[in-house]
A = this chain, B = another copy of it.
């Protein structure tokens, strides 16, 4: 008898695992079960459908060649039976059966299995505050959500929108509503900054500036306390600090794994309710596999159980499960969490730990912030990249990298060059000599990735004594009260405008003139060195150190970083 495989969940991982298994084991009888009518859709594309960049919803439901991936498609193209509008209600591991309910007819039936796959995904959180049941408050995770939101927007029913949650979906939705439809939109984030866990506070502020500059208001940290409504429809979001008018509230306050079925069946879960799997993506029952948003896989930076609810994980894990179902021996070792997001003028991306998560995980971590042009500096088209690298100071191991750039491809290249190395325990030395490709239209001969390694090394060896942009901002704001000597190490013509604007406060002493102008630089006051990116201020620091002057700090990312952050200068 041929092997019977049941796959519960048919959005991303389920169809991938089923198709791969069928391709390798054509005799297998595979049944995909999903409670929704629409299956196998690109959920990550929903914000782009809402924005209108994706014209028709069908594009998210179709193959690259335009065939909608419905039950008929899976039957004829993949040889897989898809039962839609069918809910799996129980697993009997002894009998090896799944109880399913046809949501249209109410009919209950029993599916026997030899191997079972749990691809149950995740569900959006609904915050437990008064009024959350009002119409107009919704997550945007299904095609139905997407349709409803876009229709409301197209029909002009949304004068003001509020997004609850500054994570990926929340920000993508804010950009979709603000950029493409011009709807006044606010993002309310409970934690200290947007993209918590993914960006440092500094980069998060820089990202928030891009949102604000383009009309999206960002409130963080701020807590939603209730929703107000009229006629059963939301009219406002009330936070602990203000009331925001809203006809549409996007609920993007995180997700939780759908692991109730696994729990009822007695499978091992983590304390956070994630299904535990081994490197073959097998649960505590060797005949049951699981993957995607509902499982924990190792975080390859920390070595601890991790959670990476991303579409790319679902696809790669799905293929591993499909191979193993068919008798293969494929392994998914874990992940470091590589991600990206397009905002308005800027894009952000990263991998591994941020400075905050690294410290929380107990690393003795530090981070460097560098700014550099993404191509040869003489090349005509170019953009400034901001890059942060997080390092374990005692071992010099690189724990994470995050960045921001107007050019998405340039940023992706830098993050992707480092992401696969994070699990391989590379050090700052490896990054200093990391071989990324060079050609003037694509990269610099000493690329920003290498520079991040160099800067980290200079700090670890005590040569570079840096100051963060926030530290600089605070000292600059308090310039009338403190004794800080702000010294601009750029060439005179570049420093002149600020020196003229702030006479007696902003001192132009180009790096190459320091030796002859030592007397102008005080020894009894803190000296803050700044240039355009942080390179010449470092050189200035070295020159001053050689002259016995150690009362200096060099500003990370210089004035380029200050502009990105919005320091008022």
Contact = CB atoms under 8 A, between A and B. Distances in A.
B437 A53 contact: no
A127 B23 CA distance: 55
B315 A445 contact: yes
Contacts of A338: 435-438
A341 B54 contact: no
Contacts of A335: 435
Given A45-B379, A433-B320, A408 B438 contact: no
Interface stretch (A60-68, A183-191, A356-364): A60-68
A450 B491 contact: no
B445 A311 contact: yes
Contacts of A62: 378
Contacts of A442: 340, 342, 347, 349, 408-409, 412
Interface in A195-215: none
A54 B536 CA distance: 24
A143 B167 CA distance: 50
Interface string A361-387: 000000000000100111110000000
Given A65-B491, A76-B512, A446-B316, A437 B419 contact: yes
Contacts of A450: 315-316
Range of interface residues on chain A? Answer: 35 or more
A446 to B, nearest CB: 4
B542 A23 contact: yes
A415 B439 CA distance: 13
A454 interface: yes
A539 B424 contact: no
A407 interface: yes
A351 interface: yes
A436 B445 CA distance: 23
Given A60-B378, A417-B417, A542-B26, A440 B409 contact: no
A12 interface: yes
A441 B342 contact: yes
Nearest to A541: B23
A447 interface: yes
Copies in the complex: 2
Given A315-B445, A349-B442, A376 B420 contact: no
Contact of A45 (B12, B378, B447): B378
Nearest to A511: B77
**Chain A interface mostly helix, strand, loop or mixed?**
mixed
Contacts of A333: 433
Given A77-B511, A339-B438, A445-B12, A330 B416 contact: no
Given A23-B539, A48-B440, A316-B433, A42 B378 contact: yes
A70 to B, nearest CB: 12
Interface string A389-431: 0000000000000000001111011111101110110000100
Contacts of A440: 42, 44-45, 48
Contact of A445 (B42, B48, B439): B42
Given A335-B435, A441-B408, A445-B12, A490 B65 contact: yes
B432 A316 contact: yes
Contacts of A417: 416-417, 419-420
B316 A44 contact: no
Nearest to A350: B437
Interface string A481-522: 000000000110010000000000000000111000000000
A413 B377 CA distance: 19
Nearest to A61: B378
A413 B409 CA distance: 7
A181 interface: no
Contact of A491 (B66, B168, B412, B413): B66
A336 interface: yes
B336 A435 contact: yes
A60 B347 CA distance: 29
B443 A412 contact: yes
A302 interface: no
Given A45-B376, A378-B48, A417-B417, A351 B435 contact: yes
A322 B338 CA distance: 34
Interface string A218-256: 000000000000000000000000000000000000000
Q: Which 8 A-B pairs have the closest CB atoms?
A: A409-B409, A312-B438, A26-B546, A340-B439, A338-B437, A64-B377, A76-B512, A416-B417
Given A65-B490, A65-B532, A416-B436, 5 more contacts: A23-B463, A23-B539, A65-B491, A315-B446, A410-B412
17 contacts: A23-B542, A26-B546, A54-B380, A65-B490, A67-B491, A76-B512, A77-B511, A312-B438, A319-B454, A320-B433, A338-B436, A339-B438, A339-B439, A342-B439, A347-B441, A408-B409, A409-B442
